[in-house]
Structure 1
Amino acid sequence: MGRRGARGVAARSAIEGMRELAGAGLAAPEVFRRADELLRPVLEFDAVCWHTADPATGLVNSVQSEDLALDQFEHAVRLEVWADDLATFPKIRRSGVHAETLSRAARGRLEESVRFREQVAPAGFGDELRAVFDAAGGMWGCAAFLRAPDRGPYLARHRELADVAARHLGNALRACHVPGGSAGGAPDGVDQGPAVLVLDRRNRLQALSGPAEDLLARLADPTPSSLTVPTSVAMAAEHARRTAHGLVVPQLPVRVWTRDDRWYLLHGAALRGGEAQDAVTVVASPASPAEVMPLYLAAYGLTAREQEVALLLVRGSDTRDVSRLLAMTPYTVQDHLKSVFTKTGVGSRQELIARIMLGGGRC
């Protein structure tokens, strides 16, 4: 077998392994570790930085890397939020593909990328391949794969392979958030009320409320970084600063999944005047059932239309109401219901409501 044939066999084996991840019952950190083992030999990268994301907005809310020291990660967060750069995660997602290389986006002129000049090159790398992990209408994570300069730029086959792999990773991360039957109440001894944090202009913690100290531990990144707060908190703070400067920001708040399997909403607000200039208050509150229901339905892999039907059912509509509100026949509604029940593993509307309202998960 020639070199090209061997590469093809290795690529197919890696993709098959990626496909199996969605049913492996793994939490996000383990999904990423397994993906690293499968993809490193075929994508031929030297380092990777993994992120989970708020599926509703695509905003990065955690960081994980076994290759990088992350001693300049606060600068990476600022670049991600403020720099209008090439091949950013939002731009890749809007382009309709799942993966892009920095060298291709820059047409070979890597120095035109601020990220290359200030982050990639100083870290000793030559090209970056980014991938977004979309599934069921949400972006559940993303990653940046870096390679040494002597390897040359990523090739088309690397980008195409990453595009396919990213789809399977989206499904694997989505599956992490399937409700697992937890009651979704407060953990023993934990105050589930809003947590308040005050950060200075460099996102260093200046003050916090009682519940915030425990929440910070539950939001901690899998990999320590130069940030003194979790990535999700720093992202909420930076986007609050963008808002204060009158710049366009994604739909907020930032949604984040805690270590004890709960969704939290992070709202940031910039402070003004005196020594508070560019300081930010971040308020983190438990998401209500109404706020997380769309996320749970997406986690089950329901199509957009199936999610609409399911949400109306959970909110008390009957078949005739759904038929009228969504302008479809009762028979079509019943077809969607069968699919919803199959995907969520329930046999009735009452069971569906109970399953979605209970929440829970594994990431």
Structure 2
Amino acid sequence: MGLRNARAAAESTAIEGLRELAGAALPTDRIFRAADELLRPVLEFDAVCWHTADPATGLVNSVQSEDLSLAAYDHAVQLEVWTDDLATFPKIRRAGRRAETISHASQGCPGRSVRYREQIRPAGFGDELRACFDAAGGMWGCAAFMRAPDRGPYAARQRRLADLAARHLGNALRASHVPPSGPVDEDDDRSPAVIVLDRANRLLALSGPAEDLLARFADPTPTALAVPTAVAMAAEHARRAADGLPAPQLPVRVQTRDGRWYVLHGSALRGPGVAGGDSGQATVVASPATPAETVPLYLAAYGLTAREQEVALLLVRGCDTREVARTLAMAPYTVQDHLKSVFAKTGVASRRELVARIMLGS
């Protein structure tokens, strides 16, 4: 009974600490470090790999780990994109969960997982627990927690704890993506960049501000990849689509360290002299995100409800209260109630300030 009470107290302390992270306005790397300190004692993992993600598509766009060398990260990316495995991040989300383990998904037979056979077991780990950090309708990040074989599989209570923790981490990561304060840097080169990669995602050619952008997209932890995770993911999904396999059709969105959003469009290249005419090369075009692409992300980052986001979008487009009420089929006083909540969550006092905050980041 004493051990059970001590465990429950430790888990409660960890969850309370994660809840507080949402209001701390920390950058993502510090959120992950704080979460590591809170969760490692209660989830009892030996290594963790943290990721941010494109909230609109859930596609991973960065990696951070203080436990792993990531020397085989290129293989991990291949497995993530090309393998229909157990307990993948998309499958966890489609199942309506936030956390799952290989041991549970495989019904005690982890060898059924390609990821386990080719990556986890060779690295000296046993079970893996994955968590998706969802909030406000998007996935803002995710993580994979590995443990040594002698610890045995994760317990059901730890899966439940990870599910609860993931919700709070989703809120913390969402809050870290609010628009940057201050005016837009006019000296910032906002022209598109073109990045050409070979089959192994090695650089073949660059144009425009690509070299600068690659540095701004860089992963917090060095990996075996020659390019940042976001660029490699855009290229791999383009190759998958070119092979006629199901693949996300939306671009990969990534936020730079200075808070600017870019969209990465990947396309597979065809070349002569190669079987099937497929050279394996891919082009990734990185373009500054337009207001139409960033406004929904910023509104979600502020924690607005779906209805509040609809009201705010109409305001940004120039609609007055009456037009918003008519478009959304609600009473004007209801619109005003939503407006008060929108202003409170975004920290503004007027519609003009709202537009400036969302559109200009000021």
Give how far 1:251 is off.
4.0
- Aligned residue in 2 for 1:237: 235
| 1:34-89 CA-partner distances (Å, limit 9, x unpaired) | 10001000000000000000000000000000001111101111111111111100
Q: What secondary structure sits across from 1:271 in the alignment?
A: strand
Superposed counterparts of 1:109-124, under 5 Å: 109-124=109-124
The answer on whether the counterparts of 1:296 and 1:359 sit within 8 Å (CA) in structure 2 is: no
The answer as to 2:273 corresponding to 1:279 is no
Superposed counterparts of 1:254-293, under 5 Å: 254-274=252-272, 277-293=279-295
Query: TM-score, structure 1 length as denominator?
Result: 0.96
Is the deviation greater in 296-305 or in 271-280?
Answer: 271-280
Superposed counterparts of 1:1-363, under 5 Å: 2-186=2-186, 188=187, 190-274=188-272, 277-359=279-361
The answer on whether the counterparts of 2:191 and 2:208 sit within 8 Å (CA) in structure 1 is: no
| 1:308-361 CA-partner distances (Å, limit 9, x unpaired) | 11001100111121112112222221221111111111111111111101227x
Percentage of matched positions with identical amino acids: 75
Distance 1:330 1:185 in 2: 38
Q: What secondary structure sits across from 1:178 in the alignment?
A: coil
Give how far 1:180 is off.
3.5
The answer on whether the counterparts of 1:57 and 1:251 sit within 8 Å (CA) in structure 2 is: no
Q: What secondary structure sits across from 1:279 in the alignment?
A: strand
Give how far 1:114 is off.
0.6
Unaligned runs of 5+ in 2: none
Q: For 1:252, give the aligned amino acid.
A: L
Give how far 1:143 is off.
0.1
Distance 2:327 2:87 in 1: 40
The answer on whether the counterparts of 1:60 and 1:235 sit within 8 Å (CA) in structure 2 is: yes
Distance 2:350 2:110 in 1: 56
The answer on whether the counterparts of 1:135 and 1:174 sit within 8 Å (CA) in structure 2 is: yes
Q: What secondary structure sits across from 2:172 in the alignment?
A: helix
Give how far 1:182 is off.
2.8
Distance 1:339 1:183 in 2: 25
Distance 2:248 2:11 in 1: 35
Q: For 1:19, give the aligned amino acid.
A: R
Q: What secondary structure sits across from 1:278 in the alignment?
A: strand
Give how far 1:254 is off.
0.3
Distance 2:9 2:241 in 1: 49
Q: For 1:46, give the aligned amino acid.
A: D
Distance 1:317 1:198 in 2: 43
| 1:131-151 CA-partner distances (Å, limit 9, x unpaired) | 000111111000000001000
The answer on whether the counterparts of 1:134 and 1:140 sit within 8 Å (CA) in structure 2 is: yes
Give how far 1:191 is off.
2.2
Give how far 1:300 is off.
0.3
Give how far 1:301 is off.
0.1
Unaligned runs of 5+ in 1: none
Is the deviation greater in 33-42 or in 175-184?
Answer: 175-184
The answer on whether the counterparts of 1:184 and 1:262 sit within 8 Å (CA) in structure 2 is: no
Question: How large is the Cα RMSD of the aligned pairs?
Answer: 1.2
* Runs of 4+ deviating beyond 4 Å: none
Distance 1:250 1:332 in 2: 37
